[in-house]
């Protein structure tokens, strides 16, 4: 390998810099300069070894024991083709290190760009108390510390003297008063400083959309919502927030008349839609109620019609037993419709009663009336009449159970009320058992 002198390395470095400047690509400049520096150091080490007599000539059969230079490593191990890493362990490791380095640079640049995009530019306004809070805090701290220590020293001197010195006593009172005033100034400064800091938080929350929920503001400053509303009104009075508005319920705080007008339009549209929805619900309910009322009136009218038909049939049938059964049937049907009339929601429970049971029952009653009106009654007529009478017993029992089921909810409520009443009486000691124990 031909050796180079330092001048050649400097020329190559100069050419590398010129190439980077001309092309505008500085990404490979540091690598090229690093390689040149490593090669120059290797050449210098070899030159020093030759001068000191440590560089022995290798015979044809003798292998070189000195480690390869950085240039030889790069030429023989790192690149085997057009930018592809070699197969040696050193080449793979070096390639991975460079790749990780490039990835870190890329991530850092991405984070910097994200931060630049997320930056919120808060407009500068005149903040009430920003300067005075600093002055009050600084002078209050100095006064409280300096005059307070002096006042303590004066108290110590007075406590150590056996007689009272008027001048020292006067100085002690003066320093004590100044210390108290400084302490008050410190408190005012801290209070105003917190006020200014909270204004900065409010301004930051409003900077993007010019509107923010009062609840969210309260969470950020760790204060109650009433405190935040009162403080925002104070800032509006100090003109720290220009063209600021609350909504009707003081749930949102917004900046700008345009935003407020948009909010009012949206609120108006919401109220109109709400009223329309309520009106639609009311109309639907009225229609449903009217349908239910019509169905109820129709059912009651049909029920009275069946009762009247049974009454007329009973008047034309002379038999005492059948009259008793028809009278009971009439009474049960009347009570069923009275219950439904008081509780219209139970109309659905008697639909089958209206559509099937009553028409069939009326058909049987009319058939009995027809059979009974025959002057000559054979076995067939007598058997049919007997069968109808037996069936009327079954119908009466079924209608009685239907009426009982209609009052099931009321019975459960009564039972529950009785249980509650008994429990209350027992807690108050008003039961019979309690009276017997007190005797």
Residue 144's Cβ-count burial label (10 Å; 0-12, 13-18, 19+) is buried
339 contacts 406 by C-beta, under 8 angstroms: yes
Q: 417's torsion region: left (phi>0), alpha (psi -120 to 50) or beta?
A: alpha
249 contacts 258 by C-beta, under 8 angstroms: no
Residues forming beta bridges with residue 212, ordered by sequence position: 253
Name the residue with tokens 């069946």: 306
Supply 66's token pair: 């000195």
330 contacts 310 by C-beta, under 8 angstroms: yes
Residue 77: predicted pLDDT: 45
Tens digits of residue pLDDT in 198-237? 888 888 888 878 888 888 889 888 889 999 999 998 888 8
402 contacts 356 by C-beta, under 8 angstroms: no
Check residues 48 and 337 and name the one with the higher pLDDT: 337
Across the chain, mean pLDDT equals: 75
Report which of 42, 33, 44, 38 is spatially closest to residue 11, judged by C-alpha positions: 33
- Measure the CA–CA gap between 248 and 267, rounded to whole angstroms: 10
Highest-confidence segment of 21-25, 213-217, 276-280, 374-378: 213-217
Residue 70: predicted pLDDT: 53
Return the DSSP state at 79.
B
State the pLDDT confidence band at 55, using cuts at 50, 70 and 90: very low
Q: Nearest 5°: phi and psi at 79?
A: -105, 125
Report which of 78, 91, 76, 1 is spatially closest to residue 46, judged by C-alpha positions: 1
How many angstroms separate the Cα of 18 from the Cα of each of 4, 24, 44? 21, 10, 25
86 contacts 79 by C-beta, under 8 angstroms: yes
Tens digits of residue pLDDT in 296-352? 788 888 888 888 888 888 888 887 888 888 888 888 888 888 888 888 888 778 888
Extended beta strands in 185-281, E state:
211-213, 244-246, 252-255
Report which of 309, 298, 402, 305 is spatially closest to residue 364, judged by C-alpha positions: 309
- Measure the CA–CA gap between 147 and 334, rounded to whole angstroms: 101
Supply 281's token pair: 């619900």
Tens digits of residue pLDDT in 365-388? 888 888 888 877 788 888 888 888
pLDDT at 65 over 60: no
């Amino acid at each position: 390998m031909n050796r180079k002198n330092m001048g050649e390395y400097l020329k190559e470095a100069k050419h590398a810099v010129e190439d980077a400047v001309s092309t505008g690509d500085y990404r490979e400049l540091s690598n090229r300069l690093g390689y040149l520096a490593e090669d120059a150091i290797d050449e210098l080490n070899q030159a020093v070894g030759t001068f000191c007599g440590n560089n022995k000539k290798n015979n044809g059969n003798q292998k070189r024991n000195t480690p390869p230079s950085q240039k030889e490593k790069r030429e023989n191990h790192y690149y085997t083709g057009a930018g592809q890493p070699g197969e040696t362990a050193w080449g793979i490791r070096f390639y991975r290190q460079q790749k990780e380095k490039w990835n870190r640079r890329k991530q850092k640049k991405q984070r910097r760009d994200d931060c630049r995009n997320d930056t919120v530019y808060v407009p500068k306004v005149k903040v009430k108390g920003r300067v005075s809070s600093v002055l009050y805090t600084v002078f209050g701290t100095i006064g409280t510390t300096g005059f307070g220590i002096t006042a303590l020293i004066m108290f110590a001197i007075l406590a150590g003297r056996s007689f009272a010195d008027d001048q020292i006593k006067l100085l002690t009172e003066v320093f004590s008063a100044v210390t108290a005033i400084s302490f008050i100034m410190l408190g005012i400064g801290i209070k105003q400083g917190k006020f200014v800091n909270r204004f900065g938080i409010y301004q930051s929350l409003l900077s993007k959309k010019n509107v923010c929920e009062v609840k969210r503001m309260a969470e950020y400053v760790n204060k109650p919502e009433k405190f935040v509303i009162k403080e925002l009104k104070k800032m509006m009075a100090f003109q720290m927030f220009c063209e600021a508005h609350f909504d009707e319920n003081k749930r949102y705080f917004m900046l700008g008349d345009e935003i407020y007008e948009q909010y009012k339009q949206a609120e108006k549209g919401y109220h109109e839609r709400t009223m329309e929805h309520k009106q639609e619900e009311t109309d639907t309910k009225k229609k449903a109620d009217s349908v239910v009322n019509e169905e109820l009136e129709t059912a009651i009218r049909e029920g009275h019609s069946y009762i009247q038909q049974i009454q007329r049939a009973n008047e034309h049938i002379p038999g005492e037993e059948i009259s008793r059964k028809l009278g009971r049937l009439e009474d049960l049907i009347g009570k069923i419709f009275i219950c439904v009339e008081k509780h219209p929601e139970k109309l659905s429970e008697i639909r089958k009663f209206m559509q099937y049971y009553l028409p069939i029952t009326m058909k049987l009653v009319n058939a009995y009336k027809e059979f009974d009106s025959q002057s000559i009654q054979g076995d067939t007529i007598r058997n049919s009449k007997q069968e109808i009478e037996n069936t009327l017993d079954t119908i009466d029992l079924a209608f009685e159970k239907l009426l009982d089921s209609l009052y099931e909810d009321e019975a459960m409520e009564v039972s529950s009320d009785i249980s509650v009443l008994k429990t209350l009486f027992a807690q108050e000691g008003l039961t019979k058992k309690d009276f017997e124990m007190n005797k």
